Amino acid sequence: MVRPAEKRCRILSSGEVKAVRTAIVDDEPHICEQIKSMIRKVQPDCEICVFLSGRDFLASGKQFDVVFLDIQMTGINGIETARRLRETQPETILIFVTGAESYALEAFDVSAFHYLLKPLEETKFQEILNRAFREAEKYRSYRQEQLFIRSRNRTVNQGDILYIESHGKKVEFHTLKEKFTIYGSMNGLEAQLGDSFYRCHRAYLVNMAYITGYGPDSITLTGGEAVYLTKKKHGEFVKAYMWYLQNGGVSHV
C-alpha cells in the first residue's frame, strides 16, 4: 500500500555540478592576490571573487561555497563579518586567514572550517583548500537532491530542510528560508529522506546536518531552535549522529 506522503512527495536526482564559488575577503590586496594565485594552482576553474572589506563582501549579497576571511580588517572585522554571514548562509565554509592566534576561540564560535596563520605556507594552504573543496562539493551534491511535493507542484532542496514537524494528518516543513504545511505522512517522509534525517520523536524528523547540540530530551538546531528528543531514543540517537559524522555526513554548523 502506498503511504499518503509518497503520493505527494518524491526524491529527484541531482543536476549538473558547477564550479566551487570562492570569495577572498582581505583589506591587503597583495594577500588577496597571493591566495588567488594559490587557489588557481590547485583549482584553475574555480570561481573567485575578491573583496577588500567585510562591508563590501556582505553588501554584495552573493552566496559562496568557500570564503577565505581575514580577521584584522578596518571597518567590520572578520569575526563580525562571519557572524553576519552566518545569519543567512550557515552552510558556507569559512577559513580564517590572519596574523594573530588570539582569535581562535571566536573563530570556533562562528563554526570556522579552519584557521590559517600568515605568512601562508603553500603546502598547508593547499591541503586545507582541497579538504574545503571536497566538503563544498559534498554539500552541493547533498543539497541538489530535491523533494517533489505534488500537492503544491513544487520542489524543496533536501539540504535546505532543518526539520519536519507532524500536526495530525499534516506535516510542516521548517527550511532555511520558509515554513510551509502539506498533507502527508511522517513515516513516508522518513523512508524517503534516508540516513541524513533522524526521527527523534513521533512528531519530529530532524536534518542531522544542522544539529548544533543535544541534551537528554532535546536537540538544538542552527538558529537556536530546539525540538523534542524522546528520552528512550537518546542512546540510539547519539549512535546514529556519531555514525553520520564519522561516515561522511555533511555538517553545516
Number of domains in the chain: 2
| Any domain includes 11 | no
Considering 117, 143, 169, which residue would you say is the last residue of a domain? 143
Which tens digit of pLDDT belongs to each residue from 41-76? 988 889 999 999 999 999 998 989 999 999 999 999
| Any domain includes 90 | yes
Strand ranges, E, within the chain: 9-12, 21-25, 47-51, 66-69, 93-98, 114-117, 146-149, 154-157, 161-167, 170-175, 179-183, 197-201, 204-207, 211-214, 218-221, 226-228
| Any domain includes 153 | yes
The reported pLDDT for the residue numbered 134 is: 86
Kindly state whether residues 81 and 178 are assigned to the same domain: no
User: Which positions of the chain have pLDDT values less than 50?
Assistant: 1-8, 11, 13-17
Q: What is the CATH number of the domain that holds 68?
A: 3.40.50.2300
Q: What is the CATH number of the domain that holds 196?
A: 2.40.50.1020
The reported pLDDT for the residue numbered 104 is: 81
| Any domain includes 10 | no
Kindly state whether residues 126 and 238 are assigned to the same domain: no
- Reported pTM: 0.57
Give me the domain span that covers residue 232: 146-246
| Any domain includes 14 | no
Kindly state whether residues 163 and 228 are assigned to the same domain: yes
Kindly state whether residues 27 and 114 are assigned to the same domain: yes
